[in-house]
Amino acid sequence: MFWSPDCQESVVMGINGQFPGPTIRAQAGDTIFVQLTNKLHTEGVVIHWHGIRQRGTPWADGTASISQCAINPGETFDYRFKVDKAGTYIYHGHYGMQRSAGLYGSLIVEVGEGEKEPFHYDGEFNLLLSDWWHQSVHDQEVGLSSKPFRWIGEPQTLLINGRGQFNCSLAAHFSNTSTNACTLRGDEQCAPQVLPVLPNRTYRLRIASITTLASLNLAVGNHKMVVVEADGNYVQPFEVEDMDIYSGESYSVLLTTNQDQSKNYWISVGVRGRKPQTPQALTLLNYSPTSQSKLPILPPPITPTWNDYDHSKSFSNKIFALMGSPKPPKNSNRQIILLNTQNYIDGYIKWAINNISLLLPSTPYLGSIKYSLKSAFDNKNPPENFANDYDVMKPPINPNSSNGNGVYMLGLNITVDVILQNANALAVNVSEIHPWHLHGHNFWVLGYGEGKFSANKDEKKFNLRNPPLRNTVVIFPFGWTALRFVADNPGVWAFHCHIEPHLHMGMGVVFAQGVEHVNDIPDQALACGLTGKRFMKNTKQN
Ligand SMILES: O=C1O[C@H]([C@@H](O)CO)C(O)=C1O
């Protein structure tokens, strides 16, 4: 039992007794050994590690079990995986909506022995951003799967490293005269983060978002930031006054403490892309030797208007790979267009991709593909050009779709282009932001566009010169995003909207390639559904 981060007495899921889970630090080239013990009483656990390729040990990535096969209550599962790329990453529960309940943390990988980062910094801070609801995740899940539909609504609190304020103003916290509940209780979880800095130094802020829903914007009063890393990949450094960050993404920015050292400055985090009903999260940049109780003179930076999408697009369009980064292959072997729509299935509200709403099978894909268990999932290739005659600017003419669990089977090592095509949701004039996250690979972001993607016109505009490599990318309302990846990682990989309730409502697809080359599927990943232990024993004897 934890205190919830907003001083209310409620349950937060933790890892090793901590919320958020421990920040795991490693060096590129290290092998991380994980002993995952599930101490929950009622449900399984799976942990997904962003940015980890996991060749050969797919379980650790979580992918094998993005179906119902998880570490059961009371069980322990040991596994190891290699971290081969320096960067800022996140890890989180990937079973049901456990991430929303607090099952997450940071993974920070330093450069390998004798290697250097392509930028200099004197110190660093880790800011893991999330959002928080008072309603339990279980109640949220029930509401999302009910008729009539009950949406989770906007978060009550934004959290920085698991701490946030609710009904207790941050300013009051810093003044000793406050009578607010948090200060009176002296509750650790309500205390805001303070970033103590020395003047005239450069700090690396590692900023990652693990939000359930919120798209965020971060700004530091009177300071600019230079973005140098995105999702564990170096980018061509560029300066910004504020930055957008979507769920699943991580960045490193450099901040130079070149302001008046007799003052402190606010760092603010606010909601974008949805009409906000959540106060900004605030934290303090505390210049030495100024006392941390001295309030900034300047008010906190104002978050750009939630629907100023041009502002967001301009940030996304500034992100390019650092010179010398790997370039994409010049051509792709296959183009898959994924049309994102909001739909009804039997009157329930869902999201669908090419008119199929992802409902995971009870047998993990990895085992069912490897052992050709044809009845374990839908063997038909899902559609890949459903968007042809579809008007993305209007609600669906026929809003009905169906559940499915088919797999996009990719040839090993082929180059795949994915066009994520956003559309109008069920309500007129509504199209939402969706950050899409790919397991097991990085992809190049070749471009963004408005309206419907047109191969003839838009492919010519793809950036093949210096597209950024990422594992998460956003689609803007009524727009498309093009990405390219090489299917060079044998396994079964989820690709989905990182907004937790949207995945729950079916917004995802599954890619598979080279599964015949995966030889070390752990027993635990085969321990349920049709691959359950007895079945496996029988097939092994045959
Ligand atoms: O998935 C969603 O459902 C609601 C709304 O579209 C229906 O109530 C919303 O804002 C979402 O993002």
- For the question of an ipTM over 0.90, the answer is yes
For residue 529, the model assigns a pLDDT of 85
State residue 177's pLDDT score.
40
Within 6 Å (CB) of ligand 1, which residues are found? 149, 151, 349, 425, 432, 501-502, 505
pLDDT in tens, 90-119: 999 998 899 999 999 999 999 999 999 999
In this structure, which residue's CA is closest to atom 7 in ligand 1? 151
pLDDT digits (tens, 9 = 90+) for 318-359: 999 999 999 999 999 999 999 999 999 999 999 999 999 999
Above 50 in pLDDT, residue 295?
yes
Can you tell me whether residue 160 is helix, strand or coil?
strand
Write down the pLDDT at residue 8. Answer: 58
Q: Which residue has the tokens 């085969």?
A: 526
Task: Give the pLDDT confidence of 266-278 residue by residue, as tens digits.
Answer: 999 999 999 999 9
Structure confidence at residue 441 (pLDDT): 94
Identify the CATH homologous superfamily for domain 120-316.
Answer: Cupredoxins -  blue copper proteins (2.60.40.420)
Which residue's alpha carbon is at the smallest distance from atom 3 of ligand 1?
Answer: 151
Specify the pLDDT at position 190: 64
Checking if the pLDDT of 486 tops 50, the result is yes
In the chain, CATH 2.60.40.420 sits at: 120-316, 334-541
Q: Calculate mean pLDDT across residues 26-36.
A: 93
Residue owning the nearest CA to atom 5 of ligand 1: 151
Distance 181 CA to ligand 1 centre (A): 33
Q: 108 C-alpha to center of ligand 1: Å?
A: 33
For 541, residues 6+ apart whose C-beta sits below 8 A from its C-beta are none
Which pLDDT value is given to residue 71? 85
Average pLDDT value for residue range 362-376: 90
24-27 vs 479-486, strand pairing mode: unpaired
Q: What is the mean pLDDT of residues 431-458?
A: 97
Q: How far does the centroid of ligand 1 lie from the alpha carbon of residue 478, in Å? A: 16
Best residue among 149, 151, 247 to mutate for probing ligand 1's pocket (most ligand atoms within 8 Å of CB) is 151
Is the C-alpha dihedral spanning 436, 354, 505, 36 positive or negative?
Answer: negative
Nearest by Cα to 495 from 471, 465, 523, 517: 471
Q: Could you tell me the distance, in angstroms and rounded to a whole number, from the CA of residue 482 to the centre of ligand 1? A: 24
pLDDT value, residue 526? 83
Q: For Cα atoms 158, 105, 366, give the angle at the middle one, nearest 5 degrees.
A: 120
Q: What is the pLDDT of residue 281?
A: 93
Average pLDDT score over residue span 39-57 = 81
Strand partners, 32: 81
Confidence of residue 74 (pLDDT cuts 50, 70, 90): very high
Question: At residue 316, what are phi and psi to the nearest 5 degrees?
Answer: -60, -35
Mean pLDDT of the residues in the chain: 90
CA nearest ligand 1 atom 1, residue = 502
So what's the pLDDT on residue 364?
Answer: 86
The model carries a pTM of 0.94
In the chain, the amino acid numbered 19 is: F
Distance from the CA of 103 to the center of ligand 1, in angstroms?
Answer: 24
Query: How far, in Å, CA of 397 to CA of 393, rounded?
Result: 11
Residue 383 pLDDT > 60: yes
437, 438, 441, 442 alpha-carbon torsion, rounded to 10°: -40
Contact 345, 507 (CB under 8 A): no
Q: Which residue has the higher pLDDT, 47 or 393?
A: 393
| Rounded Cα gap, residues 477 and 466, in angstroms | 25
Q: Which of 144, 422, 432, 503 is the best mutation target for the ligand 1 pocket, counting ligand atoms within 8 Å of the beta carbon and taking the most?
A: 432
Residue 30 pLDDT > 80, yes or no?
yes
Residue 525 has pLDDT above 90, yes or no: no
Q: Which amino acid is at 64?
A: A
| Residue 60 predicted with pLDDT over 80 | no
| 147-199 pLDDT per residue, tens | 999 999 999 999 999 888 776 555 455 444 443 434 334 455 566 789 999 99
Lowest model confidence (mean pLDDT) among 72-86, 240-254, 407-421, 496-510: 72-86
Name the CATH code of domain 334-541 (choices 2.60.40.420, 2.40.40.20, 1.10.8.640, 3.30.420.40): 2.60.40.420
Per-residue tokens: 14: 């933790």
Q: How far does the centroid of ligand 1 lie from the alpha carbon of residue 146, in Å?
A: 13
Report the share of the chain in percent with pLDDT over 70: 89
Q: Taking Cα atoms as reference points, which of 288, 276, 260, 282 lies closest to residue 173?
A: 282
Q: What per-residue confidence (pLDDT) applies to 79?
A: 84
At residue 533, the pLDDT reads 58
Ligand 1 atom with the smallest distance to the CA of 213 is 12
Whether the predicted pLDDT of 65 surpasses 70: no
Residue ID of nearest Cα to ligand 1 atom 9 = 151
First vs last C-alpha separation in the chain: 48
pLDDT greater than 90 at residue 508: yes
* SS3 of 454-511: CHHHHHHHCCCCCCCEECEEEECCCEEEEEEEECCCCEEEEEEECCHHHHHCCCEEEE
- CA pair distance 159, 282, nearest whole angstrom: 9
| pLDDT value of residue 288 | 97
